[in-house]
């Protein structure tokens, strides 16, 4: 039976939302290839409890590898444990990860351990005649490459937001597994984690993104964007253009674009952002793009689905108020 493996991601013992997407992608690919999808998750003791959240997305079983040293992401331990779990049980047709900061750190290590090529940040994957084909953006999103790997399993990370999570009918069996690992040998050690952004989702994970650029003139004016973000609800995050990050108004963690984060939200607001190619590189795959800009000729209007030509200082507060009013009605 052809197997497609999905590597689920957890943080602080909770399964991340992208995990449902990667299981769904694996299930769809397994259907194309006439096989079955299987999940793998690594974490600290008790992690089995949380994988129930992924049971309904089409995997046949979920193997859960637990070890005290894996409670937080540890690159060497995760790579070694995963490489072992992938080798077991015969060759799979593909192994899919999420293209998150963790997934993109982990997958290349697993690829090197298994001596297999890897495709990062895949936005489409399908199986035809037993072969796996992938589409991935290259040249900062200015072109799409369709690629094939001459090795099995095919390793890929799937861009968050690119493939929707689809609930299936299956109810995966959960198979716990305890791992033998030697953390003393690992040459990297996590010292601390400083969270940023409070309860607001990270720009790379937010379903809605409100981004601001130099047109906002001053960091104090972000209060206005924050107002709009809050009106849009808990799934909305904040983003920024490089110009404002370089000016020190906002943190680099919010930067969207070629030298910042790539985002694929359902809705993207570009407020006072000109729409330079390097900015577009990070957000052009957003499903719906809204631009607010004073300059009718700003390049952002060429990619925006909807635009308002006008002063952000007049438009944004009105927008926040209108969205609030509609939500309440």
Partner 1 sequence: MKILVCVKRVPDTDTRIQISADGTTFDAAGVRFVMNPYDEFALEAALRLKESGRASEVTVVTLGDESAQETLRGALAVGADRGVLCRGVSGPDGLATAKILRSAVEAQGPDLVLAGVRSVDGDQEQVGPMLGTLLGWACATCVSEIEGGDGVLIAVREVEGGRERVQLTLPAVVTLTKGPFELRRPSLPGIMAAKKKPLEVREAEVVSPRVRVVALELPPARKEGRIVGEGPDAVPELVRLLRDEAGAL
Binding test (CB under 8 A) with partner 1, winner from 69, 140, 166, 179: 140
Which residues are within 8 A (CB) of 309 and not within 5 positions of it... i.e. 6 or more apart?
293, 294, 295, 296, 301
Nearer Cβ to partner 1 (144/234): 144
Strand partners, 39: 6, 62
Stretch that binds partner 1, among 37-45, 54-62, 87-95, 281-289 (CB under 8 A): 281-289
Nearest to 320 by CA among 249, 236, 263, 250: 236
Report, in Å, the least distance between residue 19 CB and ligand FAD: 27
Binding test (CB under 6 A) with ligand FAD, winner from 7, 54, 298, 319: 298
Rounded to whole angstroms, the Cα distance separating 132 from 95 reads: 11
Rounded to whole angstroms, the Cα distance separating 111 from 116 reads: 5
Of residues 289-318, those binding partner 1 (CB under 8 A): 289-291, 296, 301-311, 314-315, 318
Largest separation between any pair of C-alpha atoms in the chain: 62
Whole-angstrom CA distances from 138 to 112, 120, 122, 282 are: 22, 10, 10, 12
Of residues 228-257, those binding ligand FAD (CB under 6 A): 241-244, 255-257
Which residues are within 8 A (CB) of 120 and not within 5 positions of it... i.e. 6 or more apart?
99, 104, 107, 108, 136, 156, 157
Nearer Cβ to partner 1 (181/315): 315
Rounded to whole angstroms, the Cα distance separating 27 from 293 reads: 42
Nearer Cβ to partner 1 (29/281): 281
Of residues 234-253, those binding partner 1 (CB under 8 A): 245, 252-253
Binding test (CB under 6 A) with ligand FAD, winner from 30, 95, 208, 273: 273
Of residues 44-73, those binding partner 1 (CB under 8 A): none
Of residues 147-166, those binding partner 1 (CB under 8 A): 147-151
Q: Footprint of ligand FAD on this chain (CB under 6 A)?
A: 213-215, 241-244, 255-260, 272-274, 276, 278-279, 282, 292-295, 298, 311-313
């Amino acid at each position: 039976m052809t197997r497609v493996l999905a590597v689920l991601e957890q943080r602080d013992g909770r399964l991340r939302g992208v995990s449902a997407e990667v299981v769904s992608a694996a299930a769809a690919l397994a259907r194309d290839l006439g096989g079955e999808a299987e999940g793998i998750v690594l974490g600290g003791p008790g992690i089995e409890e949380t994988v129930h959240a992924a049971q309904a997305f089409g995997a046949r079983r979920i193997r859960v590898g637990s070890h005290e040293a894996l409670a937080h992401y540890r690159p060497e331990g995760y790579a070694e444990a995963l490489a072992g779990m992938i080798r077991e049980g015969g060759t799979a047709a593909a192994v899919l990860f999420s293209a998150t900061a963790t997934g993109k750190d982990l997958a290349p290590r697993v690829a090197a351990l298994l001596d297999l090529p890897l495709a990062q940040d895949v936005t489409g994957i399908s199986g035809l005649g037993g072969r796996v084909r992938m589409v991935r953006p290259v040249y900062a999103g200015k072109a799409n490459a369709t690629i094939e790997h001459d090795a099995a399993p095919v390793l890929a990370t799937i861009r968050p937001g690119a493939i929707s999570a689809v609930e299936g009918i299956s109810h995966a069996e959960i198979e716990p597994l305890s791992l033998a690992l030697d953390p003393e040998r690992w040459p990297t050690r996590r010292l601390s984690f400083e969270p940023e952004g409070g309860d607001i989702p990270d720009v790379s994970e937010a379903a809605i993104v409100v981004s601001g650029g130099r047109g906002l003139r001053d960091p104090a004016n972000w209060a206005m964007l924050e107002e709009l973000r809050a009106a849009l609800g808990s799934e909305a995050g904040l983003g920024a253009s490089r110009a404002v990050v370089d000016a020190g108004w906002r943190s680099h963690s919010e930067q969207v674009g070629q030298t910042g984060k790539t985002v694929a939200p359902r809705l993207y607001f570009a407020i006072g952002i000109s729409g330079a190619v390097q900015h577009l590189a990070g957000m052009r795959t957003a499903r719906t793009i809204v631009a607010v800009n004073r300059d009718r000729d700003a390049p952002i209007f060429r990619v925006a689905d909807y635009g308002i030509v006008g002063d952000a200082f007049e438009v944004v507060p009105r927008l926040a108020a209108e969205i609030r009013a509609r939500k309440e009605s």
